[in-house]
Amino acid sequence: MPNHTHHTHHSQPAPFVATCPDCEIERSSESATELVAFYRRHHGHTGHDIVVTRADLEFGAALDAADGVAAVVDGLDARYGVDKHDSTESGTAGVPIGIVVAAMSERGFTVGETLEEIADVRMTGALYEPRDDHLAAF
Ligand SMILES: [Zn+2]
Protein backbone atom coordinates (compact mmCIF):
# COMPACT_ATOMS: atom_id res chain seq x y z
CA MET A 1 0.00 0.00 0.00
CA PRO A 2 2.74 2.47 -0.83
CA ASN A 3 0.42 5.28 -1.83
CA HIS A 4 3.24 7.75 -1.97
CA THR A 5 5.57 6.01 -4.36
CA HIS A 6 5.91 7.62 -7.73
CA HIS A 7 7.54 4.70 -9.46
CA THR A 8 4.70 4.01 -11.81
CA HIS A 9 4.07 1.00 -13.94
CA HIS A 10 3.44 2.44 -17.31
CA SER A 11 1.69 -0.63 -18.57
CA GLN A 12 -1.07 -0.16 -16.00
CA PRO A 13 -3.84 2.41 -16.21
CA ALA A 14 -3.67 5.29 -13.78
CA PRO A 15 -5.76 4.66 -10.68
CA PHE A 16 -7.41 8.06 -10.85
CA VAL A 17 -9.03 9.68 -13.87
CA ALA A 18 -11.09 12.84 -14.03
CA THR A 19 -12.75 14.62 -16.91
CA CYS A 20 -14.41 17.91 -17.75
CA PRO A 21 -17.71 17.07 -19.44
CA ASP A 22 -17.81 20.50 -21.08
CA CYS A 23 -14.36 20.38 -22.69
CA GLU A 24 -14.03 16.61 -22.91
CA ILE A 25 -10.49 16.85 -21.63
CA GLU A 26 -9.27 14.14 -19.33
CA ARG A 27 -6.58 13.94 -16.70
CA SER A 28 -5.24 10.73 -15.28
CA SER A 29 -2.96 10.52 -12.31
CA GLU A 30 -1.37 8.25 -9.77
CA SER A 31 -2.57 10.67 -7.13
CA ALA A 32 -6.13 11.63 -6.26
CA THR A 33 -4.76 14.90 -4.93
CA GLU A 34 -3.68 15.80 -8.45
CA LEU A 35 -7.30 15.55 -9.58
CA VAL A 36 -8.24 18.22 -7.06
CA ALA A 37 -5.40 20.40 -8.36
CA PHE A 38 -6.71 19.79 -11.87
CA TYR A 39 -10.18 20.88 -10.74
CA ARG A 40 -8.87 24.01 -9.05
CA ARG A 41 -6.89 25.07 -12.12
CA HIS A 42 -9.62 24.24 -14.60
CA HIS A 43 -12.45 25.68 -12.51
CA GLY A 44 -10.37 28.80 -11.95
CA HIS A 45 -9.95 29.30 -15.69
CA THR A 46 -13.30 28.19 -17.01
CA GLY A 47 -15.79 27.82 -14.16
CA HIS A 48 -16.34 24.23 -15.27
CA ASP A 49 -16.88 21.36 -12.87
CA ILE A 50 -14.85 18.15 -12.99
CA VAL A 51 -16.12 14.59 -12.72
CA VAL A 52 -14.02 11.73 -11.39
CA THR A 53 -14.53 8.86 -13.82
CA ARG A 54 -12.14 6.35 -12.29
CA ALA A 55 -11.04 5.98 -8.70
CA ASP A 56 -9.18 2.90 -7.63
CA LEU A 57 -9.94 3.16 -3.95
CA GLU A 58 -8.65 0.48 -1.68
CA PHE A 59 -11.27 1.16 0.96
CA GLY A 60 -14.10 2.64 -1.04
CA ALA A 61 -16.16 -0.52 -1.11
CA ALA A 62 -16.08 -0.77 2.66
CA LEU A 63 -17.96 2.48 3.07
CA ASP A 64 -21.70 2.85 3.36
CA ALA A 65 -23.12 4.19 0.13
CA ALA A 66 -25.53 6.41 2.03
CA ASP A 67 -22.80 8.15 4.03
CA GLY A 68 -22.41 11.90 3.82
CA VAL A 69 -19.04 13.51 3.49
CA ALA A 70 -18.34 13.65 7.24
CA ALA A 71 -19.08 9.94 7.63
CA VAL A 72 -16.98 9.16 4.56
CA VAL A 73 -14.02 11.04 6.03
CA ASP A 74 -14.52 9.30 9.34
CA GLY A 75 -14.69 5.88 7.68
CA LEU A 76 -11.63 6.53 5.51
CA ASP A 77 -9.66 7.98 8.41
CA ALA A 78 -10.19 4.84 10.46
CA ARG A 79 -8.61 2.83 7.65
CA TYR A 80 -6.01 5.25 6.37
CA GLY A 81 -4.86 6.40 9.77
CA VAL A 82 -4.17 2.96 11.24
CA ASP A 83 -1.98 1.66 8.44
CA LYS A 84 0.28 4.66 8.18
CA HIS A 85 3.51 3.06 9.32
CA ASP A 86 5.54 5.91 7.94
CA SER A 87 3.71 8.52 9.94
CA THR A 88 5.67 9.95 12.83
CA GLU A 89 2.82 12.13 13.99
CA SER A 90 0.61 11.14 16.82
CA GLY A 91 -3.09 11.14 16.23
CA THR A 92 -4.66 11.27 12.82
CA ALA A 93 -2.85 12.68 9.84
CA GLY A 94 -6.15 13.03 8.10
CA VAL A 95 -7.44 11.72 4.81
CA PRO A 96 -6.08 13.32 1.62
CA ILE A 97 -8.81 15.53 0.23
CA GLY A 98 -8.41 13.85 -3.17
CA ILE A 99 -9.33 10.50 -1.64
CA VAL A 100 -12.47 12.05 -0.15
CA VAL A 101 -13.33 13.52 -3.55
CA ALA A 102 -12.80 10.12 -5.18
CA ALA A 103 -14.95 8.35 -2.58
CA MET A 104 -17.73 10.90 -2.98
CA SER A 105 -17.58 10.55 -6.76
CA GLU A 106 -18.83 7.00 -6.27
CA ARG A 107 -21.90 8.59 -4.67
CA GLY A 108 -22.51 10.76 -7.72
CA PHE A 109 -20.82 13.94 -6.51
CA THR A 110 -18.65 16.00 -8.85
CA VAL A 111 -15.37 17.39 -7.57
CA GLY A 112 -16.93 20.83 -7.18
CA GLU A 113 -19.94 19.46 -5.30
CA THR A 114 -17.73 17.50 -2.93
CA LEU A 115 -15.56 20.53 -2.16
CA GLU A 116 -18.72 22.52 -1.48
CA GLU A 117 -20.00 19.80 0.84
CA ILE A 118 -16.66 19.77 2.65
CA ALA A 119 -16.78 23.54 3.05
CA ASP A 120 -20.35 23.34 4.39
CA VAL A 121 -19.56 20.58 6.86
CA ARG A 122 -16.41 22.35 8.04
CA MET A 123 -18.62 25.32 8.95
CA THR A 124 -20.58 23.06 11.26
CA GLY A 125 -17.34 21.94 12.90
CA ALA A 126 -17.75 18.25 12.07
CA LEU A 127 -14.63 18.24 9.88
CA TYR A 128 -11.23 19.85 10.32
CA GLU A 129 -7.97 20.04 8.45
CA PRO A 130 -5.10 18.53 10.47
CA ARG A 131 -2.77 19.65 7.69
CA ASP A 132 -3.11 21.16 4.24
CA ASP A 133 -5.50 19.30 1.95
CA HIS A 134 -6.17 16.59 4.51
CA LEU A 135 -9.44 16.13 6.36
CA ALA A 136 -10.42 14.51 9.61
CA ALA A 137 -13.78 14.14 11.32
CA PHE A 138 -14.44 15.06 14.94
ZN1 LIG B 1 -13.89 22.45 -19.08
One-letter amino acid for residue 72 of the chain: V
- The reported pTM is 0.81
CA distance 30 to 17: 9
Alpha helices, DSSP H, located in 10-138:
32-46, 69-82, 97-105, 111-124
> CB count, 10 Å around CB of 3?
15
Question: What is the distance in A from the centroid of ligand 1 to the CA of 100?
Answer: 22
Question: What is the distance in A from the centroid of ligand 1 to the CA of 111?
Answer: 13
Res 78: pLDDT: 78
Res 91: pLDDT: 62
Res 83: pLDDT: 45
pLDDT by 10s per residue, the chain, length 138:
445 555 555 567 899 999 999 999 999 999 999 999 999 999 999 999 999 999 988 765 566 766 789 999 988 887 765 444 444 445 678 999 999 999 999 889 999 999 999 999 999 999 999 999 999 998
Q: Is 128 exposed, middle or buried (0-12, 13-18, 19+ CB in 10 A)?
A: middle
Res 12: pLDDT: 76
Question: What is the distance in A from the centroid of ligand 1 to the CA of 24?
Answer: 7
